[in-house]
Structure 1
Amino acid sequence: MASSITGRTPSGTSSRRKFLQQIAAGGIAIGSGSVALSSCAIGGSDDDDDDSGDTAEAPEERSEENPLGIDPEEPVEIHIFDGGFGDAYATDIHQPIFSERWPDVEIDHNAAVDIAGELQTRFAAEDPPDFINNSGDGQMDPGQLVADGLLHDLTELFDAPSWDDPEVPVRDTLRAGTIESGTFDGKPYILNYTFTVFGIWYNKTLMDENGWSVPTTWDEMLDLCAEIADAGIAPWVYQGVTAPRYMNWPLLTMAAKLAGPEVLVAIDNLEEGAWGHEAVREAASAIRSLHEGGYFLDGVEGMEYRDAQGLWARGEAVFCPSGSWIENEEADAIAEDPSFELAVMPEPLLSEDSVMPLETIRATAGEPYIIPADANNPRTGMEYMRAMLSQEGARGFTEMVTSLTSVIGAADGVELAPGLSSAQEALNAAGDNIVNWFYPTWYKEMENPGIDQATGKLLRGDATVDEWVDECEAVAAEIREDDSLLKQNREL
């Protein structure tokens, strides 16, 4: 669903230069692994010291063959997060596509599990690489990077001709919402490359074997949970102590279906009382009813997220909230049972009077890629992005890592795995009825540990719905009242 996004600049903040000096002094870490980036002042910059990533002159003359004006002999340094997708998609697919057109550009390829740990000193020295896959547990806080002027504006990339057709700009090859998902203060700073379909994933094999139908209302869900439990199977898992926030995803999607996407906009905009909206309360009550009915796998509240998901993939439970990456993430567990088949269902309706249809889903671009403002060769970094966004690059990525991309039509004709095929069907069925929210990207700590901890209590039965609402409201208020944070705003 289209929206406009603007930013509100914080007052009383330190300069970007001072921020980098603080990192160099060892007082601040850029990432979730140690001291969070948001613990520092957020940077506006002095007029005579502003190198915040705005568009600079191209070193080479632009042409149809070289629309971004890159130096065809200047090396480019890239860093890929070596996580669920690995890095072979870069070395085996994207880099050969890039090098075929630019054979004299040397690619310095690097892979890392802890991106912040690898690169924070490089940022402090104002000598970051040219291209970064900023993902994983060691992800650098994207909102803070933007606020402190550390990222390059990607407007030129999206306005440039696409890799495959010079008559079509890159922005017109991308799924709706892709650019907006990486936009801060009206400018795009992040390329979100994958396109994730969220929903309730279920063990289709068990459902079919037992003649159980996919529920379309929450009452039907609870009736089915009782039947599943009577059969000696746990109806639900969630991602345990590691990530109870996964259950926020069906909660907020059901709230949006009930009352419309405006409830999500209010939450993103930090409006007072947004978490107490009646639709949000009703969705929270529905989620809590799974605990009240004893419908979670025993002990799940204390499990690590992969342990919980692995038990689901091995047939210990029927339902699991996640995004469409789960098929690739749990590929080893799924492979243990050749008969296992997974599929995704849209969240059930809380009422027949719901504003949005059953087919409504949450779907969004994800897996962020960035160009640092201080990169030595930012234009070649953007050219590498342009190669990634080619039909060949996006199709190869989907085939290798079992994930859709943000490139329109790139999965057409690709033989998709069962789960991803189900996700594609759900996306097609939803049409324009797609919802999303942005607060986890805008205000990283609002989601984790903030709302995450509150939802963990709700799922364990340690908090009532009213107590959950109060805690969520308190988390939002803390962000809202922090004048050091760059505030974002969006409209439908």
Structure 2
Amino acid sequence: MGSTSAHGETGTGTGSGAGPGRRDLIKRSAALGLISVPTMSFLTACASGGDAPKAAGAKAAVTKENPFGLAKGTKLDVVVFKGGFGDDYAKAWEAAFDKKWGTSSTHLGTPEITGKLQTRFNGGNPPDVVDNSGAQRIKLDVLAKSNQLADLTPVLDAPSLDAPDKKVRDLLIPGTVEQGMQGGKCVSLNYVYTVFGFWYSGKLFKEKGWTPPKTWDEFLDVCTKAKEAGIGGLAHQGKFPYYINVVIMDLIAKKGGLEAMKAIDNLEPNAFEGSAAALAAVEALYEVVEKGLLMPGTNGLTHTESQTAWNQYKAAFIPSGSWLENEQIKQTPDDFDMRFLPMPLLPDSALPFEAIRAGAGEPFIVPEQAANKPGGLEFIRSMLSREWSTIFAQQANSLTVVKDGVDPGVKLRPGTQSAVAALKQAGTNTFNYLYPDWYSEMDSSIQDASNELMAKRIQPKEWIKRAQAAVNKAAQDPNAKNNRRS
């Protein structure tokens, strides 16, 4: 759902650099998705009552078991984005935290992060921990520039709850820390390991005799057959063009390779203009528009409206991250058989069909001015335990960035199984963009251009021009020199 990694009404990419670490993910989720339900007796436990809560800023002695000096009996203020993952997982976390630490947690689950929290940040009384995701998230780069975010390096260097002889950072999937960097400092913990691409119904494809496409021409062929059958080819979440940018950006990375992706993140003067891969990607998507292969009306729909229409077999494909299954759980027919599809290839692509965008999303932050900053930091450390990771996987049908982070036992849903199988096939051929978190204004400008493109108000070359202008503007930011990927 943020951050680019986003879900629900996200605007978010989610990043993990290309490269190693995927075998750890597959190893831990084994045949996919067998995870076991943790002992849930704590879910009904409450913090012990009696004494009045201590002041939020109270501190205890710093020890190896209590590395941030969290005082028992303090209050903890937690706010989470309530979107594709819901917020039941967070309520379970808070109950476990209160039981262990004697804290008294308050909980707010909302899709309106900015609306609920902007005045609190401005007034110097932000929550202690925030899941800052969704379309209405507060822009991380803006918070970072105004020194509103606590440095999470102490959490990364603290002892792991699962292996106290190791640091927390040593038990995270590679790329996790990189995704949370702003200006050379780690200020957010992207928690959910997400894959991005197309999704389709296994039932519909079987009934129609369609083969999941591996090339863009094959993709257009299925969309054409869908149109002939009275079904839309491609649905997208028109009011949130972040989603259609998944298609464009994945096509660019797979066509031009990792260098094409890095050129965008590193704000190169030829990131879009002069990039054959970028132009080919935008022209390929525009062909879907020109041939009338979009689901009718999709440009004007919200994420849930378009996804529900897709669940009703009104379109063959829809782009999204792997939060989609949990977000649509109530709208998805039992026999829908949700499946993940890597982005089909353009001719002469540098990366193989199996390559997918995958990485860490759903950014959690601890505000610098949090009243109970030790509590916020300890909450983040607890999230990175196997116990809490298993709770999340079981409640939200998604994997986390914790290596071997789920217990074997309970089978996950078809879409999640499909996504993990795709990760296994991708191996080290994964990639992810960092610019949405690093440069929110640039991201918004590119989304606006894509909105115009899908409505046929601009042509592909104009899209390229606008995207490059957004890159050039971001490059003028003095902080950009600290955001580089090699």
TM-score (norm 1): 0.83
Residue 357 of structure 2: which of 362, 377, 380 is its match? 362
Report what 2:107 is aligned to. Answer: 109
1:96 corresponds in structure 2 to 95
CA–CA separation in structure 1 for the residues paired with 2:349 and 2:123: 53
Structure 1 Cα separation of the partners of residues 290 and 252 of structure 2: 20
Structure 2 equivalent of residue 301 of structure 1 = 299
The within-5 A match list for 1:125-204 is: 125-204=123-202
Matches within 5 A, 1:398-409: 398-409=393-404
Q: How far, CA to CA, are the matches of 2:305 and 2:267 in structure 1?
A: 34
The Cα shift of 1:83 comes to 3.1
Does the CA contact (< 8 Å) of 1:3 and 1:490 recur in 2? no
State the match for 1:467 in structure 2. 462
Distance in 1, Cα, partners of 2:335 & 2:120: 48
Instruction: Note the alpha carbon deviations across 1:430-468, whole angstroms, 9 max, x for none.
Output: 1111111111111212222x1112112222332222111
CA shift, 1:410, in A, is 2.3
- Equivalent residues of 2:182, 2:483 under 8 A apart: no
Q: Secondary structure at the match of 2:363?
A: strand
SS of equivalent to 2:124: coil
Residues 63-102 of structure 1, C-alpha deviations (whole Å, 9 max, x = no match) = 23223332234332222233333332122x2123323432
Whether the aligned pair in 1 keeps the contact of 2:326 and 2:396 (CA below 8 Å) is yes
Distance in structure 2 (CA, Å) of the matches to 1:481 and 1:117: 29
SS of the residue 1:216 aligns to: coil
Once residues 406 and 413 of structure 2 are traced to their aligned partners in structure 1, the CA distance between those partners, rounded to angstroms, is 12
Q: CA deviation at 1:3?
A: 7.5
State the AA in 2 paired with 1:233. I
CA-CA distance at 1:184 after TM superposition = 1.2
Contact 2:83/2:327 (<8 A) preserved: no
Query: Which residue number corresponds to residue 75 of structure 1?
Result: 75
Residue 377 of structure 1 deviates from its aligned partner by: 2.0
Cα distance in 2 for partners of 1:252, 1:459 equals 15
Tell me the CA shift for residue 191 of structure 1.
Answer: 0.9
1:348 alignment partner in structure 2 = 344
Name the CA distance, whole Å, in 1 between partners of 2:174 and 2:393: 18
Per-residue Cα deviation, 1:218-259 (whole angstroms, up to 9, x for no partner): 12222222222222221111111x122312212221221222
Deviation at 1:486, TM superposition (A): 5.3
Structure 1: distance between partners of 2:463 and 2:396:
37
Q: Does 1:248 align with 2:245?
A: yes
Higher relative CO (CA 8 A, sep ≥ 6), structure 1 or 2?
Answer: 2
Q: 1:472 aligns to what SS in structure 2?
A: helix
With 297-306 and 430-439 compared, the bigger mean Cα shift is at 297-306
- SS of the residue corresponding to residue 274 of structure 1 reads coil
3-state SS of 1:232 partner: coil
Aligned-pair distance for 1:144?
0.6
Return the match for 2:430 from 429, 434, 444: 434
Of 248, 253, 263, which aligns to 2:260?
263
Deviations for 1:315-365, whole angstroms, at most 9, x for unmatched residues? 00110000111111122221xx332111111111112x4222211100121
Q: Secondary structure at the match of 1:490?
A: coil
Secondary structure of 1:363 counterpart: strand
- Partner in structure 2 of residue 338 of structure 1: 334
Check the 8 A contact 2:338/2:415 in 1, yes or no.
yes
Q: CA deviation at 1:149?
A: 0.5
Aligned 8 A contact 1:442 1:488 in 2: no
Tell me by how many angstroms 1:488 deviates: 4.5
The question of whether the paired residues in 1 share the 8 Å contact of 2:390 and 2:405 is answered with yes
- The alpha carbon displacement at 1:158 in A equals 0.7
User: 310, 313, 336: which one pairs with 1:312?
Assistant: 310
- Write the letter of the residue equivalent to 1:110: L
* 2:483 corresponding residue in structure 1: 489
Output the CA distance in 1 between the equivalents of 2:17 and 2:368.
28
The structural deviation recorded for 1:59 is 4.6
**SS of the residue 1:348 aligns to:** coil
Q: Which amino acid aligns with 1:96?
A: A
Aligned match of 1:418? 414
Residues 305 and 87 of structure 1: CA distance in aligned 2, closer, same or farther (over 3 Å): closer
* Structure 1 partner of 2:28: none
- Shift in Å at residue 487 of structure 1? 5.3
Q: Residue 396 of structure 1 is aligned with which of 391, 397, 418?
A: 391
Aligned to 1:327: 325
The equivalent of 1:84 in structure 2 is 84
- Gaps of at least 5 residues in structure 1 are 5-57
Amino acid at match of 1:74: T
CA positional deviation for 1:147: 0.8
Select which of 107, 122, 125 maps to 1:124. 122
- Asked if structure 2 preserves the Cα contact closer than 8 Å seen for 1:127 and 1:376, the reply is yes
Contact (CA 8 Å) 2:184, 2:483: kept in 1 or not? no
| Structure 1 residue identity aligned to 2:199 | W
Say which is worse superposed, 199-208 or 62-71, in terms of deviation. Answer: 62-71
Q: Determine whether 1:453 maps to 2:448.
A: yes
Task: Report the alpha carbon displacement of residue 416 of structure 1 after superposing the two structures with TM.
Answer: 0.8
Checking the alignment, whether the CA contact within 8 Å between 1:245 and 1:456 is kept in structure 2 is: no
Q: Is the 8 A contact 1:115 1:139 kept in 2?
A: yes
- 3-state SS in 2 of match to 1:111: strand
CA contact (8 A) 1:147 1:486 kept: no
- For residues 291-314 of structure 1, the C-alpha deviation after alignment (integer angstroms, 9 at most, x for no partner) is 122111112222223211111111
Distance in 2 (alpha carbons) for counterparts of 1:199 and 1:271: 25
Distance 1:327 1:3, change over 3 A: closer
Alpha-carbon deviation of 1:136? Answer: 2.7
Distance 1:197 1:379, change over 3 A: same
C-alpha separation in 2, matches of 1:200 and 1:488: 33
Aligned equivalents of 1:315 and 1:431: distance in 2? 31
Q: Indicate if the aligned counterparts of 1:228 and 1:235 stay in contact, CA closer than 8 A.
A: yes
Q: Distance in 1 between matches of 2:290 and 2:190?
A: 38
Q: Is the 8 A contact 1:3 1:491 kept in 2?
A: no
Q: In 2, Cα distance between the equivalents of 1:194 and 1:3?
A: 16
Deviation at 1:376, TM superposition (A): 2.2
CA distance in 2, matches of 1:488, 1:204: 45
CA distance in 2 between partners of 1:488 and 1:458 (Å): 32
Measure how far apart 1:479 and its partner are: 2.6
Distance 1:218 1:357 in 2: 13
Identity %, equivalent residues: 39
Q: Which whole-Å CA distance do the structure 1 matches of 2:256 and 2:160 have between them?
A: 39
